[in-house]
Every structure is written in structure tokens, then in C-alpha cells.
Amino acid sequence: MHCRPGFEGEAAAEMQELSAAKGIAGYAVTREGTALVRFVCPEEGEAATLMRKLSFHKLVFVRQWALGSWLDVSAEDRITPIITACAQGPLASCLWLETADTNDGKAMAALTKKLSKPLESALLKTRFIRPTKTDAPRLHLCFESGQRIFVGWSWANNSAPWPMGIPRLKVPREAPSRSTLKLEEAWHHFIPRDEWDSRLSPGMQAVDLGAAPGGWTWQMVNRHMKVIAVDNGPMDRRLMDSGQVEHIEADGYMFKPKVPVQWMVCDIVDKPARSSALLARWIARGWCREAIINFKLPMKRRYYEVQQCIDHVQSALDEAGIRATIACKQLYSDREEVTCHVRVLQAGSYKVQSAV
């Protein structure tokens, strides 16, 4: 499993808890700062069973995963043992070469680039990769070093759609801050691409809490939405000149919309309990239909804090009689935080409460 460097313990704790809940014995092997976690199931076949029973999209700290084993190879011949290992697994639709998301991992880039074409050619020749077999799993080769490689497989309907779980996004030159990528990546993760036109459509009303200077607002303006940007700080002048942004100088936690909106987004630095209460209030009171918010995590008990936040939001929605999906993920663009998304599927019996 891939994760953010420094969050190996959280990914391990998450897998340990979920495995126990499914009645499958297993244990995590971690090393701080490696950005990789092994989860071992001693009973034969149990690892595959666990991977089928768990929904990847419900994992918070795991960016990508694959089912397989580690392989030791020599520098003189890496391809032959890899081909032999692939013979023990399923046919694959494509090959992904990966490394850990660390400086040591990045140092492996030259080697993986050098091996890419010879490996793909050998796997196509042996027919262990068949691009026309679109329902087949992906083959992952994760290089820990030049002599140690993980050979594994993942299935497209239960894994991240990118190698290592990292989407390749670029900061738009027009965006006023790099934080703009947080919202774009969140959309890629939480909203199927074929639903963007209906759920992120022009003319929608949105509120950006803690908006300045406007990184998240820029994404919504770029989708031709109308945005209320709430922040005591100044907004980017080009955004204000777009005619799509209304800037309200106020505390994002205190703001109440006069009418319900489609979207609320928030990237305010504060305690996670306060942010989860804000999210619960907006959804439970019918102020928005979808929301994306970041929970800034403390240095300790980070996995526990995330669970507390999710439970808080779920309890508020249950009390209001609202059926909604709640998803949480530590995105590549996130640092000491996770991103939470809520989408209302069926409103409760509440009356919309506004500022008037």
C-alpha cells in the first residue's frame, strides 16, 4: 500500500481495524518515512479475500494498493525473475512501474525509465499483459531498490486510477495559489469524471469559506459557477474582475447563506472538531447539497481524529434524517490534513435554516 510519507502508522491502523472487522487475521509491517505499508495475512488466500471485501474508496490513508509479494532480483538480470513471478498471477491489462513517494523512491526514476520498454516488451511477448483484455487487473511493479521489487495486481473497480495513487495535475498559471490543486484533486477522487457536467455545471451557486486569495474559488469560477467567497483577507483581483465572485469579509465559521447553494468548500486552518461541526451544520440545515472540507490533523492520534470527525458528521445527518454519502481521503495535495466530501442523496424532514 502507498501512503503519504510519515503516515505509515495511520494506514497500518486503518487496515488493522478494517481487517479485524471483516474477521480476517493479518498484521501490518511499517517503517517510518518509507511511504509504503505491507499488510500480511498468514492464511493462504486471505489477503485476496480481504482485498475483495474492502472498498478501496473508503480507505482514508491508503493512496493505492496491490495484491502480491516482494521479489529479490540481481542487477545483472531483473527481467527474467519478474516474468517468472508474473506467471504465478493473473493476466494483466497494463503495466505500471512505481516507486515510493520519497526522495529515495524518486532516485529510482532513471532505472524504472530504463526498464520500462524492455519489461513491457517481454510481458507482451509472453502474453502476461494483454491490452485488449480491459477487464483484467493492472500489473504493479514497485521498485524499493534495484534489487527488491514488489510484484502485484490491482483491479480498476477497486483501486486508484493512477500509479501510486497520484494524479498528474499542474497548477494553472492563472490560479492565485497552489492550494487550487487540493480542490481539483478532490473532484477527481470523489466525483466520477462522467458526472462532472451535471454536478459541477455552469451557473451553480457555491460558497468558499476561508477563500482568500482564491485558489479554490478559481476552480469553481473556471467551471463557470457563481461563488460567494467568505474571508477577511483580500481576494485575487482577476477573480473579482470575472464578475462571478461576491466577496464577503467575514469569519467563515460564522457565515450563514441567505439561500441554499449547491456547493460549500472550506480549507480553513483550525481544529478538526470545529471543521467537522461546521460541515455537519451546513449539511444538516440544508444550506448546501455537496461539500468538500479539509480537516487539519494534530500530530498524534490522527487516525482517531478522522474517525471522530466522520462519526460527528454522520450523527448529525442521522438526527436530521438525511441520507448522504460521506467519504474521506488524504490526497496527494494534502499535507497534515485529510479531505472530506459529503453529498446529500435524500433530504430529511428539516426546514432550511438561513440567516434571515
Query: What CATH code is assigned to 8-165?
Result: 3.30.2300.20
- Judge if 8-165 and 180-346 fold alike in CATH terms: no
| pLDDT one-digit tens code per residue, 41-87 | 999 999 999 999 999 999 999 999 999 999 999 999 999 999 999 99
In the block, cell 460549500 appears at 264
b/e per residue 162-171 (b: at least 16 CB within 10 A): ebbbbbeeee
Topology of domain 180-346, CATH: Rossmann fold (3.40.50)
| Residue 171 confidence (pLDDT) | 94
Joined together, the cell numbers standing for residue 19 give 481487517
Catalytic-labelled residue, pool 170, 258, 296, 300 = 296
| pLDDT one-digit tens code per residue, 1-12 | 999 999 999 999
| Residue 355 confidence (pLDDT) | 43
Among residues 173, 180, 107, 197, the alpha carbon closest in space to that of 146 is found at 107
| 2 DSSP β-pair partners | 36, 64
Domain extent listing, the chain? 8-165, 180-346
Which residues of the chain, if any, have pLDDT below 70? Answer: 348-356
| Residue 20 confidence (pLDDT) | 97
Distance CA 326, CA 333 (A): 20
Tell me, yes or no, if 296 is annotated catalytic: yes
Q: Cα dist. 234→231, 239, 246, 248, 270 in Å? A: 8, 11, 12, 10, 19
pTM: 0.93
Q: Any idea what DSSP says for residue 39?
A: E
